[in-house]
Amino acid sequence: MQHNETELRNAYERDGYLVLERFRSKADCATLRERMTQIIRTAANDHATSIFEADPKNHTCDDYFLGSGDKIHFFFEKDAFDASGNLRINREKEMLLNKAGHALHALDPIFKAFSHHASQVALVHALGLKNPQLLQSMYIFKQPGIGGEVPPHQDATFLYTEPSTVMGLWFALEDAGKDNGCLWAIPGGHKEPLKSKYVHKQTGAMAFETYDATPWDVSRMLPLEVPEGSLVVLNGLLPHMSYANRSDKTRHAYSIHLIDGQAHYPESNWLKRSHTCVNFI
Ligand code: FE2
């Protein structure tokens, strides 16, 4: 790795995140963007049957979402539709998508190769994961004009282990700035406890268990503006968010989440471990 591993680990432990500018090449980013376009067009009759809402008050929990852990499913932006469910905007379908997930890293060879890049494997080991397991992947579109806000949250709300080991690797496939909805995070906020968990109840229903209903102090969030190819590593307990994209530019990103296989992964997680939960090597 180019960076000093001790310095990286110290910064990650202090801040709860790392920003590694231009970690991947522009060519690698273009390959992933083009591949996603191909996947969408190939699956033209088989996608976007659900809207994705990140807000916990209305978080998507339909069967299409819950069945996406070991598949490549597509989710629309909420603002693509009016109150009657009709399309509000005359655009290609691929310009109305919110995200695709959650097993690109296992099912598609190009996403698999990008995800398992040797530099990333070395990095997550350097940051302390002993037996890294790659659980999920998402392609996030953050469309011009309609790319919705993702409210402040901790990723460990949605993927939790005991103790908490979740780590997100978020790749900017395009420049991400305040205008098109870059990430924001609270430096050091990962030292605060987990505020809620998204749990699969024994009844079969999904629900949020809330331990602390105090809202995050958004004034402590710093923007993480990064150029294309940059990698942002996020501790699963780090509070972060992104605002809506009201610009005329896309803000594509690819994100993968890992856990340490040495930690306990409760059955109540929405994402069931399957053949698409793979060793990160
Ligand atoms: Fe997140």
- Give the pLDDT confidence of 133-156 residue by residue, as tens digits: 999 999 999 999 989 899 999 999
- State the distance from the centre of ligand 1 to the C-alpha of 63, rounded, in angstroms: 21
What tokens appear for 45 in the block? 């009759």
- State the distance from the centre of ligand 1 to the C-alpha of 40, rounded, in angstroms: 23
- State the distance from the centre of ligand 1 to the C-alpha of 67, rounded, in angstroms: 20
- Give the pLDDT confidence of 22-53 residue by residue, as tens digits: 999 999 999 999 999 999 888 765 544 566 66
- The CA–CA distances, whole Å, from 30 to 24, 146, 157, 174, 237 equal 11, 23, 31, 9, 30
- State the distance from the centre of ligand 1 to the C-alpha of 121, rounded, in angstroms: 21
- State the distance from the centre of ligand 1 to the C-alpha of 108, rounded, in angstroms: 23
Q: What is the pTM of this model?
A: 0.92
Least confident of 196-200, 254-258, 270-274: 270-274
Distance CA 169, CA 21 (A): 13
- State the distance from the centre of ligand 1 to the C-alpha of 183, rounded, in angstroms: 9
